Amino acid sequence: MDPAVALVCGGAGLAASLALQFAVNRYVPWIYWTAVAMVSVFGTMAADAVHVVLGVPYAASVAFFLTVLAVVFVLWYRTEKTLSIHSVDTRRRETFYWATVLGTFALGTAAGDWTAYSLNLGYFSSAAVFAVLIGLAGFAYWRDWLAAIPAFWFAYIITRPLGASFADWTAVSPNRGGLGWGTGIVSLALAALIGLVVAYLTRTSRAGRRAGD
């Protein structure tokens, strides 16, 4: 599919999913995670379009999306005096939250491509590097060297390049350093796994509401 057309389709899907998310006043697993999935898809498309269509180097993309994300964090904190996800209980805070999530996925995609291609680490080594970074964040939080909120957002940002690097490693052909399982098969398998987890979360969420009643 032409990148411009794909970007428009992804944007339409993102707009529809976020409209549905903002229309509900409580956590509904399938609605929330559909929005997350569409944010990840559109964020990935946006990062890829910057490189493929505009020809921007991966390092420049990383710097750009990192700056955008930093601006969102600053505006969020100056406006709401907190970056905690547990305080997302108003429409304005939720808007900041989704802008942050979109920025993290775009940055994560660019970072994963930067390490895999520009730094020539390949997909598996890139995944290993990002896994170590998440582990370091967890260790720093455990040792009280890093507060909960920055530890969370650091790990959240790294989940994107970790997941993308692992998925690419399993999907691409061996001559590109992958296992050659195929993009379609890997995508469908991961989508099915997400569907199963969301179904479980939906069931437990309903059970919890019934117990609360």
Least confident of 17-21, 50-54, 151-155, 187-191: 50-54
Domain that holds residue 197: 56-212
Using one digit for the tens of pLDDT, what is the confidence trace for 37-86? 998 888 888 777 777 777 888 899 899 989 999 999 999 999 999 999 99
Instruction: Kindly state the tokens that stand for 23.
Output: 């229309």
- From CA 119, how far away is CA 113, in angstroms rounded? 9
Q: Would residue 116 count as lying in a domain?
A: yes
Average pLDDT over residues 134-162: 93
Q: Would residue 94 count as lying in a domain?
A: yes
Q: In this structure, are residues 43 and 105 in contact, taking their beta carbons and an 8 Å threshold?
A: yes
The residue with tokens 């650091």 is 154
The pTM for the full model equals 0.86
Q: Would residue 159 count as lying in a domain?
A: yes
Q: In this structure, are residues 36 and 18 in contact, taking their beta carbons and an 8 Å threshold?
A: no
SS3 label, residue 90: coil
What confidence score (pLDDT) does residue 209 get? 62
Buried b (16+ CB within 10 A) or exposed e, 161-196: bbbbbbbbbbbbeeeebbeeeeeeebeeeeeeeeee
Q: Would residue 81 count as lying in a domain?
A: yes
Q: Would residue 64 count as lying in a domain?
A: yes
- What is the DSSP secondary structure assignment for residue 115, as one 8-state letter? I
Using one digit for the tens of pLDDT, what is the confidence trace for 109-127? 889 889 988 899 999 999 9
DSSP class per residue in 119-187: S--HHHHHHHHHHHHHHHHHHHHHTTSS-HHHHHHHHHHHHHHHHHHHHHHHHS-GGGTS----HHHHH
Given a cut of 60, whether residue 213 has pLDDT beyond it is no
Using one digit for the tens of pLDDT, what is the confidence trace for 162-198? 998 999 999 989 988 889 999 899 999 999 999 999 9
Q: Would residue 49 count as lying in a domain?
A: no
Q: Would residue 180 count as lying in a domain?
A: yes
Q: In this structure, are residues 18 and 35 in contact, taking their beta carbons and an 8 Å threshold?
A: yes
Instruction: Kindly state the tokens that stand for 90.
Output: 């108003």
Q: What percent of the chain has pLDDT over 70?
A: 96
Given a cut of 90, whether residue 203 has pLDDT beyond it is no
Number of domains composing the chain: 1
CB atoms within 10 A of CB 20: 16
Model confidence band, residue 96 (pLDDT cutoffs 50, 70, 90):
very high
